[in-house]
Structure 1
Amino acid sequence: MARGAALPLAGVPIGVKRSEGTESLQARRLIAAGAVPVGSTAVPGPGTEWKTWGATDRGTTANPRRPGASPGGSSAGSGAAVAAGMVPMATASDGAGSTRIPAAWCGVVGYKPTTGLLPARDAAGLTVGGPIARSVADIELYRRAFLGDGRHRDAWAVGRGRRPLRVAWSASLGFNRVHPGVAGAATRALGEWERCGGVEVHEARPALDDPAGQWRALRLRPPGDPVGGRGGRNAARLAELFAGFDLLATPTTPNPPHGPGGPGEAMSVGLTWLFNITGHPAVSLPAAVPAACGPVGLQLVAGLGADAALLRAAADYERRVLGPAP
């Protein structure tokens, strides 16, 4: 008797980001791996420039972890659906932080792959697909289903008798104003990981430039205009940093979840959009302790192509600090 193909996501219900639908490449690959789409997840509606919210014809998208607050965006409904336990995984996309921000504000996990592993969804090459999920193990299932079991650059491993990971910690990346409650929660989470023996944390002051102008300039490029020399000085400085450290850690957002009136002058993308320009893989994990200002994310960033190693580190943090996923 012929044996059926192995389906790593057989029967797993997923949400699908409304702006992508089931025809997006990542949705098609997940469905081919056995996943079952059960609903469309909300994205921002018209009327404002800020995208860290969601809306449908039934109203604004609620945050299951903080009543009255936004779930983030633009993958708002994906973050909310996973946090509410409706699905274990949902598709998202990230051009400036749109996967990582809702993961942070909803207290779940969001992963932006190294740019180039998945086809970009915009002419500027900034927006890449990725998942929001309840655990790092679910993120790893996505990676294997979408990218296969290929071996990425992997200069170190976690929990295999090697030295603790060297982590560079920067609350602001040198150009953000960070809410003290957000910085404090992320710092305590990272400190708990260090106390558990997983990492060595070193305060870093990377001489990085605010990428706002470059990000906007890239978005204004006409279709077909080649994108070359991306990252500039920031890319060079990050290369220097990753020559001495295994990971860079920051809060995922500089501000806590905002209310229905929007973020005000806070730039919710201030700690995420640099890595859309430089292409580095990044993951947002829940901070280990509740914060009075709301759910807070801890962002881990790894060297270019080190996605498998990044997720192993994230799994180690999850195991040592957060404990088993619910």
Structure 2
Amino acid sequence: MGTGPLDSLSYSELTARRIADAVLRRELSAVEVAGAALGRMDDLDPWLCAFTEVWPARARTVALEVDRAVRRGEALPLAGVPLGLKASEGAGSLQAQRLIAAGCVPVGTTSVAGKGTDWQTWGWTDRGPTVNPWRPDLSPGGSSAGSAAAVGAGCVPLATGSDGAGSVRIPAAWCGIVGAKPTNGALPARDRAGLNVGGPLARTVEDAAAYWQVVIGEDPLRVRPAEPPRAAWSATLGYAATQDEVRGTAWRAARALFASGCVEERETEVALLDPEPAWRGLRSGHPDAEAVRVREENERRLERLFGDVDVLLTPTTPNRPHGHRGPGGAMSVAMAWVFNVSGHPAVTVPAGRTEDGCPVGLQLVGRRGEEATVFSAALAVERSGRGTT
């Protein structure tokens, strides 16, 4: 199995799909891949602080079981893929169980916001704050902070997250990777408000789609649109205070997508109401009249918008990553949580980086239940080269 040892650097360049293909062909063993993942974690996590727990013995045991299954001829779709698990969910979540059953090898739990830290965009371990792999002096985003940092640093190609206010998309954008929020309700959730849904953090759109096929049960890249989807761009959604450099970086990725011909640009006004009252009202379980008004009005406006276009493009966040002392007055969730309230699916892909090296994400939003259209457009962004980090 394999032609030589897999070093941690070579491992970090492999996507989940490439790992699974190599393990199924017996060009690599799952044990070998797990060893490379654990080695990279040993090298990087002392300063990255992405993992709250590391499971070397468990990882090797599961990897051995995967190798035995492959020898028996079992076609595990994610055979041998190292997996990070968001600490607030762990191995007991439905998405984790389905990924492990598909051949993933769990290597540990990843950080989330700690007590006393800002709920928006932090990760915390007993060794200190989780750092951004591109800019260790800055936050990786959150709350799926450790998952995003681990994928962004090449420790794992795939990790689980959950998104109740952008908690998958924000850290994915800031760590230069792909993150996706399904249509609300696509997975069972403990969140009675209906805002939170599990989703992947991945190196590539195809890896996120592989997660989707295993966890959701549908391959969002299997069927491509017969005609280019109609897409609109909005830098602010009508209410967000988007920083100029973030706006410019995301717009260049959107413009490259339009130029590729994979989508058809539509000049459409996008003017939503700030969703904060609606989100907070739903979260409390007792929405007041203002919360109901904002939610219903945004629903009407989104219905009109998606009657005219198939995909909405925005910056994933209005701001660049902040420092480890917190976001100050910035609302990193501003472009994301409106779609937790409305339930629309959204994917973030790398759009490029700011002059000082901060990754910026481009968010793609589609109609409820139409993830295939969003993934198709996201793949086109990735292949355009604009999102290369």
Question: Take 2:179 and 2:241, find their aligned partners in 1: how far apart are those partners?
Answer: 23
Query: Do the aligned residues in 1 keep the contact of 2:314 with 2:335 (CA within 8 Å)?
Result: yes
Report the counterpart of residue 12 of structure 2 in structure 1. none
Q: CA RMSD in A?
A: 2.4
Deviation at 1:310, TM superposition (A): 1.2
Question: Take 1:3 and 1:292, find their aligned partners in 2: how far apart are those partners?
Answer: 50
Note closer, same or farther for the CA distance 1:300–1:150 as it changes in structure 2 (3 Å cut). closer
> What is the letter of the counterpart of residue 102 of structure 2?
A
Question: Take 2:232 and 2:299, find their aligned partners in 1: how far apart are those partners?
Answer: 16
Question: Take 2:311 and 2:84, find their aligned partners in 1: how far apart are those partners?
Answer: 30
> What is the letter of the counterpart of residue 136 of structure 1?
V
> What is the letter of the counterpart of residue 216 of structure 1?
R
Report the counterpart of residue 272 of structure 1 in structure 2. 336
2:301 to 234, 237, 252: 237
2:117 to 31, 48, 58: 48
Q: Superposition pairs for residues 222-261 of structure 1, below 5 Å? A: 231-261=295-325
1:270 alignment partner, SS class? coil
TM-score, structure 1 as length reference: 0.90
Moved more, 175-184 or 191-200: 191-200
Report the counterpart of residue 224 of structure 2 in structure 1. 157
Deviation at 1:280, TM superposition (A): 0.3
Runs of 4+ in 1 over 4 A off after TM superposition: 2-5
Deviation at 1:289, TM superposition (A): 5.1
1:91 alignment partner, SS class? strand
Report the counterpart of residue 216 of structure 2 in structure 1. 147
Report the counterpart of residue 83 of structure 2 in structure 1. 14
1:296 alignment partner, SS class? strand
Note closer, same or farther for the CA distance 1:204–1:121 as it changes in structure 2 (3 Å cut). farther
* The structure with more radius of gyration: 2
> What is the letter of the counterpart of residue 381 of structure 2?
Y
1:104 and 2:104 aligned:
no
Report the counterpart of residue 221 of structure 1 in structure 2. 285
1:299 alignment partner, SS class? strand
Question: Take 1:321 and 1:251, find their aligned partners in 2: how far apart are those partners?
Answer: 17
Question: Take 1:244 and 1:233, find their aligned partners in 2: how far apart are those partners?
Answer: 17
Give 5+ residue unaligned stretches, structure 2.
1-70, 287-291
Deviation at 1:307, TM superposition (A): 0.9
2:122 alignment partner, SS class? coil
Report the counterpart of residue 384 of structure 2 in structure 1. 320
Query: Do the aligned residues in 1 keep the contact of 2:163 with 2:196 (CA within 8 Å)?
Result: yes
Query: Do the aligned residues in 2 keep the contact of 1:8 with 1:34 (CA within 8 Å)?
Result: yes
1:190 alignment partner, SS class? helix
Question: Take 1:24 and 1:105, find their aligned partners in 2: how far apart are those partners?
Answer: 25
Deviation at 1:312, TM superposition (A): 1.6
Q: Which has the higher helix share?
A: 2
Report the counterpart of residue 102 of structure 2 in structure 1. 33
Deviation at 1:201, TM superposition (A): 2.7
Give 5+ residue unaligned stretches, structure 1.
223-227
Query: Do the aligned residues in 2 keep the contact of 1:189 with 1:289 (CA within 8 Å)?
Result: no
TM-score, structure 2 as length reference: 0.76
Deviation at 1:202, TM superposition (A): 3.4
Question: Take 2:369 and 2:156, find their aligned partners in 1: how far apart are those partners?
Answer: 29
Question: Take 1:29 and 1:100, find their aligned partners in 2: how far apart are those partners?
Answer: 21
1:208 to 265, 268, 272: 272
1:175 and 2:242 aligned:
no
* Same amino acid, percent of matched pairs: 56
